[in-house]
Amino acid sequence: MEEADKKVFKWKFWKLTIVLNVIIILVALAIGLFFKLPSSLGPPVAAVLILIDLPLIWYFRKHYYLTKAWLDVHAGPSEKND
């Protein structure tokens, strides 16, 4: 893989990592707040957090497969330096 391609992949990977971390945090908050908040607030707050999460999950899945396809094209056989 060329140096320019490595930089592009680094940013693609970084972006996906941040989005995945946000998804995990929102799901954890939804579960925690579902049980922690009073019964009148817990389910609606958890539902809102999950609804916020759905577009992020769609975005992550779409860009994960795009990045994977990009990597298949740009990543050549591994080079061994002897």
The string of pLDDT tens digits covering residues 17-76 is 999 999 999 999 999 999 999 999 999 999 999 999 999 999 999 999 999 888 888 876
Task: Tell me: pLDDT of 1 over 90.
Answer: no
Which helix (H) or strand (E) segment holds residue 38: the answer is: none
The predicted structure's pLDDT at residue 79: 56
At 49, list the tokens.
């957090």
CB-count exposure of residue 77 (10 Å: 0-12, 13-18, 19+) = exposed
Q: Where are the domains of the chain?
A: 3-73
The predicted structure's pLDDT at residue 12: 87
The predicted structure's pLDDT at residue 77: 67
